């Protein structure tokens, strides 16, 4: 008997590359003895709704999604609400595809489809921020709004360059947030231009920002909080620290996070997996260890181009 595979793709993600490969990817799964149920997403939260609808009606061996980090987030959020969490396969076809680096997935879409069937099932941590799930990052401050305010039409034409151009536009408008951060027995009060709780070697397309100790299943996130520079020297210090990967300095707080509380008088806008996550005075983030099973590439232990 054929096994069932639910395939959800965002036709507008990235430069719409999935449209070129759609038929051959479906044929590949069918040739490998899967009955493929396919849905194209039509807008925000659609992928989550499809997962909830389909998985409440039928049993699936695999849920495969294709799109960017936003689509993956929606699929995972749907799976997190199901009792028997189905295994997830991912074919990255978005603009940045940060999370795909962690799974060492090929950029070539048919090859990534191959990994869905040949890779290893990996239990991966998931984050919970004020009741919403995130796959790899929750962040506030400098440049985080570029990820959700860059128009999809510009991303379709320019790819990642669209984010960079939006980021440059925002450079003159630095803003800091006064926050109290409580994590384990540490309480910090300071003015921050940027903060991030993440589980990824790549954030916003930049690799290495989160340090060298990123493990996706250790029950811990990496917390990084950059203080507001007071002088030009401070500003240079922040840039130098980031370039050198020196995350524990007089300019930057960095520590592992199992659970963290951030409070502020002013409402702070958050980006969750690159999408707008809401504005909050109080944010509670928890690591849900090994909450989902996702397929990763094991071929030579590296990203295949
Ligand atoms: N048919 C559609 N038209 C427009 N937007 C859509 C459609 N389907 C889904 N979306 C929304 O598009 C948003 C962005 O999608 P996604 O993250 O997959 O691609 P991306 O932004 O190009 O890539 P990345 O997040 O890796 O930078 C998501 O919020 C998703 O809900």
CA neighbor of 287 nearest in space, from 145, 148, 184, 186: 184
CA gyration radius, the chain? 19
pLDDT in tens, 6-39: 999 999 998 899 999 999 999 999 999 999 999 9
Q: pTM of whole model > 0.80? A: yes
pLDDT in tens, 104-160: 999 999 999 999 999 999 999 999 999 999 999 998 987 676 666 666 676 566 666
List Cβ neighbours of 15 (8 Å cut-off, separation of 6 or more). Answer: 95, 155, 156, 157, 159
- Break the chain into its structural domains and give their ranges: 3-129+291-301, 132-288
As a whole number of angstroms, the distance between CA 199 and CA 196 comes to 10
CB burial of 95-134 (b: ≥16 within 10 Å; e: otherwise) equals bbbbbbbbbbbbeebeebbbbbbebeebebbbbbbeebbb
Specify the pLDDT at position 34: 97
Query: Distance, CA 243 to ligand 1 centroid (Å)?
Result: 30
Query: Distance, CA 169 to ligand 1 centroid (Å)?
Result: 22
As a whole number of angstroms, the distance between CA 120 and CA 117 comes to 9
CB 287 within 8 A of CB 219: yes
CATH of 3-129+291-301, one of 3.40.50.10330, 3.40.50.2000, 3.30.450.20, 2.40.50.140: 3.40.50.10330
CB of residue 204 inside a 6 A radius of ligand 1: no
Nearest C-alpha to atom 24 of ligand 1 is from which residue?
A: 68
As a whole number of angstroms, the distance between CA 97 and CA 78 comes to 19
Of the residues 15, 38, 43, 278, which should be mutated to test ligand 1's pocket, given the most ligand atoms within 8 Å of the CB? 43
CB of residue 96 inside a 6 A radius of ligand 1: yes
What is the ipTM metric for this complex? Answer: 0.95
Residue with the two structure tokens 């320019």: 158
Q: Is the pLDDT of residue 215 over 60?
A: yes
Nearest C-alpha to atom 9 of ligand 1 is from which residue?
A: 43
CB 284 within 8 A of CB 259: yes
Query: Distance, CA 94 to ligand 1 centroid (Å)?
Result: 7
As a whole number of angstroms, the distance between CA 98 and CA 201 comes to 8
**CATH level 2 (architecture), domain 132-288:** Sandwich (2.60)
Residue 272 banded pLDDT, cuts 50, 70, 90: very high
């Amino acid at each position: 008997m054929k096994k069932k595979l639910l395939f959800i793709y965002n036709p507008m993600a990235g430069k719409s590359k999935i449209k070129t490969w759609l038929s051959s990817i479906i044929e590949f799964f069918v040739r490998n003895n899967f009955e493929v149920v396919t849905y194209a997403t039509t807008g925000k939260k659609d992928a989550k709704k499809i997962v909830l609808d389909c998985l409440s009606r039928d049993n699936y061996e695999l849920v495969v999604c294709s799109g960017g980090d936003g689509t993956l987030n929606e699929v995972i959020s749907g799976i997190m609400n199901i009792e028997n969490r189905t295994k997830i396969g991912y074919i990255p076809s978005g603009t940045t595809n940060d999370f795909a680096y962690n799974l060492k997935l090929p950029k070539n879409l048919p090859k990534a489809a191959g990994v869905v069937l040949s890779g290893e099932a990996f239990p991966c941590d998931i984050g919970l921020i004020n009741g919403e799930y995130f796959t790899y990052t929750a962040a506030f401050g400098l440049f985080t709004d570029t990820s959700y305010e860059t128009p999809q039409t510009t991303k379709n034409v320019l790819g990642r360059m669209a984010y960079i151009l939006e980021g440059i536009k925002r450079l003159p408008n630095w803003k800091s947030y006064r926050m109290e951060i409580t994590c384990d027995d540490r309480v910090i009060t300071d003015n921050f231009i940027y903060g991030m709780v993440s589980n990824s070697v790549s954030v916003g397309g930049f690799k290495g920002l989160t340090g060298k100790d990123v493990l996706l299943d250790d029950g811990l996130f990496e917390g990084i909080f950059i203080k507001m520079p007071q002088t030009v020297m401070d500003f240079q210090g922040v840039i130098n620290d980031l370039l050198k990967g020196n995350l524990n300095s007089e300019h930057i707080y960095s520590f592992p996070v199992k659970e963290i509380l951030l409070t502020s008088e002013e409402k702070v806008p958050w980006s969750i997996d690159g999408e707008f996550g809401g504005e909050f005075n109080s944010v509670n983030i928890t690591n849900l260890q090994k909450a989902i099973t996702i397929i990763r590439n094991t071929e030579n232990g590296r990203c295949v181009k």
